[in-house]
Chains A and B, each alone.
Chain A
Amino acid sequence: MESNVEKVALERSGREFMYKPTEKIGVIEVDNFPQLGKLTALRFLEWVQQNPDGVVSLPTGKTPEHFIKYVNKYLKEWTAAGVQKELQLYGLDPAKKPDLSNLHFVQIDEFYPIDPNQKNSFYYYVKKYYIDGFCLDPDKAMFMNLWHVGVPPNMTLKDVFPDGVVDLGLRNRHPTTAQEGLQKAVIEAVDQYCTDYESRIRKMGGIGFFLGGIGPDGHIAFNIKGSDHYSTTRLTATNYETQAAAASDLGGIEVSRNRLVVTIGQQTITYNKDVTAIIIAAGEAKSRIVAEAIENEKSNLYPATILQGLPNARFYLTKGAASRLVERRFVDFQST
Chain B
Amino acid sequence: MRRNGKDYTKIPKSVESSLDQKIAAGLAPITNATFMHTAPHHDDIMLGYLPYINHLVRTPLNRHYFAYMTSGFNAVTNYYVLNLLENLLKFLEKPAFRQLLEEGYFRGRSSNRDWDVYHYLDGVASHSRTIKDEANARRLLRILIYLYEEESIEHLKDRIKELVDYFRTQYPGKKDLAHIQMVKGMIREWEADLLWAHLGFNSKSVKHLRLGFYKGDMFTEDPEFARDVRPIRRLMEQIEPDVVTLAFDPEGSGPDTHYKVMQAIAEALKEYLKKKGRKAPQIWGYRNVWYRFHPSEANVFVPVSLNSMAVMESMFMYSFGSQRDASFPSYELDGPFSRLAQKIQADQFQTVKTCLGDTYFNENEHPRLRACHGLCFIKKMTVPEFLEQTTALKKKMEANQK
Interface residues of A (CB under 8 A from B): 31-35, 37-38, 62, 65-66, 68-70, 73, 77, 82, 115, 118-120, 125, 216-217, 240-242, 244-245, 247-255, 282-286, 318-321, 323, 330, 333-334
Contacts and interface: CB of A to CB of B under 8 A. Distances in A.
B402 interface: yes
Interface stretch (B28-36, B41-49, B72-80, B153-161): B72-80
A260 to B, nearest CB: 16
13 contacts: A32-B250, A34-B252, A34-B400, A38-B396, A69-B401, A82-B402, A115-B171, A125-B218, A251-B78, A254-B172, A254-B327, A318-B253, A333-B4
Interface in B328-368: 328-332, 334
A96 to B, nearest CB: 22
B207 interface: no
Contacts of B294: 284, 323
A65 B219 CA distance: 7
Contact of A251 (B172, B292, B334): B172
Query: Which applies to chain B's interface (DSSP): helix, strand, loop or mixed?
Result: loop
B48 to A, nearest CB: 15
Contacts of B250: 32
Contacts of A252: 77, 79, 172-173, 327-328
B166 interface: no
Given A284-B292, A323-B294, A247 B251 contact: no
Given A31-B251, A35-B396, A115-B171, 18 more contacts: A33-B251, A33-B253, A34-B393, A34-B399, A65-B219, A69-B401, A73-B402, A240-B334, A241-B331, A244-B330, A244-B334, A252-B172, A253-B328, A254-B172, A255-B172, A283-B254, A285-B254, A321-B253
Contact of B218 (A35, A62, A70, A318): A62
Nearest to A286: B253
Contacts of B148: none
A92 B171 CA distance: 44
B175 interface: yes
Nearest to B332: A216
Contacts of A66: 400
Query: Which applies to chain A's interface (DSSP): helix, strand, loop or mixed?
Result: helix
Q: Across the A-B interface, give the 4 residue pairs with the lowest CB-CB distance, nearest first.
A: A251-B172, A283-B253, A251-B173, A282-B253
Contacts of B3: 330
A334 B11 CA distance: 13
Contacts of B331: 216-217, 240-242, 244-245
A330 B8 CA distance: 14
A37 B400 contact: yes
Pick from B250, B291, B329 the residue with the most CB of A within 10 Å: B329
Given A34-B252, A118-B171, A283 B400 contact: no
A334 B4 contact: yes
B133 interface: no
Given A69-B401, A118-B171, A255-B173, A62 B256 contact: yes
Nearest to A77: B402
Nearest to B78: A251
A194 B114 CA distance: 57
B174 interface: yes
B251 A283 contact: yes
Interface in B248-291: 250-254, 256, 259, 290-291
Nearest to A70: B400
B397 interface: yes
Contact of B396 (A34, A217, A241): A34
A284 to B, nearest CB: 6
Nearest to A244: B331
A297 to B, nearest CB: 22
B24 interface: no
B5 to A, nearest CB: 10
B251 A251 contact: no
Contacts of A320: 251, 253, 291
Contacts of A334: 4
Given A66-B400, A244-B331, A283-B291, A251 B171 contact: yes
A20 to B, nearest CB: 15
Contacts of A65: 219, 256
B326 interface: yes
A285 B289 CA distance: 9
A247 B327 contact: yes
